[in-house]
Every structure is written in C-alpha cells, then in structure tokens.
C-alpha cells in the first residue's frame, strides 16, 4: 500500500473530519447523509472529500464559547469544569428549566447555544 500523507490526500476519514470540525463522528455521518459533505464508500469504509469540508463554511460556524473549540454541546463534566461548580448545581439549573439537555445515548449533553444564552443572561 502506498503511504500517502494525510495532508496531501484528497480524502479524509470520518474521524479526521470530526476532529477538524470539532464535532462527533455521528454528526459527520449525518452531514454526509444530508449531502452537505461529499463522501464515498470504499468497501465498508467511508471517505470524505477534503474539498467539501474546506468549502462548506456553514460547517465551521457552529456556536463557539470563549476558550473552547467549536462544538455543538458539552458534557456535564466539561460544563462543571468550565463553570467550576458541582454537577449537582448544574442539575439544579437544568431542573428549573434554565438549561436544556439532550441525550446522546446515556450521556447528557448541554447545547452550546443554551450555555451561551445562560451566561449572557446571568452576568453579574
């Protein structure tokens, strides 16, 4: 097998695209299924066109919080570290409806948009 460096290859793996976009592999697969990313099947594997990743600026416009990479959501642990509060405190904020939670499998995730709104509304 020829060794082509990742930087010169016209195609990327799902994991490489996820890392570049700061999102999950599931999101990358969904973007491929929606046609927002050009992908090909190579046997049982999927490869994404590097050009389709770099040209689609909307993919890079996910909400951003200062000090964090572009992401769609944070885990409870990431949010507790960001705010330096206990998980119980965050659960209380969620319970009163000030933050919404989505679940990915069993893992609760808090959308970046919700965190940003909460921080803007609760500035001291």
Is the overall model pTM greater than 0.75, yes or no? Answer: no
* pLDDT, position 15: 92
Residue found by looking up tokens 């590097």 in the block? 50
The answer, yes or no, to whether residue 3 has pLDDT greater than 50, is: no
| Average pLDDT taken over every residue of the chain | 78
Say how far apart CA 111 and CA 21 lie, in whole Å. Answer: 16
4-13, 29-38, 73-82: range with lowest mean pLDDT? 4-13
Question: pLDDT grade, residue 1 (50/70/90)?
Answer: very low
Could you read off the pLDDT of 16-64 as tens digits, one per residue? 888 888 888 998 888 888 888 888 776 677 888 888 887 765 555 555 5
* pLDDT, position 47: 83
Greatest distance between any 2 Cα atoms in the chain: 59
The answer, yes or no, to whether residue 67 has pLDDT greater than 60, is: no
SS3 call for 75: strand
Q: Where are the alpha helices (DSSP H) in the chain?
A: 14-21, 25-34, 50-55, 76-83, 87-95, 112-121
């Amino acid at each position: 097998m020829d060794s082509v460096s990742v930087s010169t290859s016209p195609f990327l793996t799902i994991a490489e695209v996820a890392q570049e976009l700061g999102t999950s592999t599931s999101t990358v697969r969904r973007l491929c299924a929606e046609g927002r990313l050009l992908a090909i099947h190579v046997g049982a594997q999927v490869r994404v066109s590097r050009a389709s990743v770099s040209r689609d600026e909307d993919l890079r416009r996910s909400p951003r919080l200062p000090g964090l990479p572009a992401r769609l959501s944070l885990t409870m642990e990431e949010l507790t570290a960001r705010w330096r509060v206990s998980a119980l405190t965050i659960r209380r904020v969620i319970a009163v409806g000030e933050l919404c939670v989505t679940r990915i499998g069993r893992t609760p995730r808090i959308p970046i948009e919700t965190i940003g709104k909460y921080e803007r509304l609760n500035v001291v």
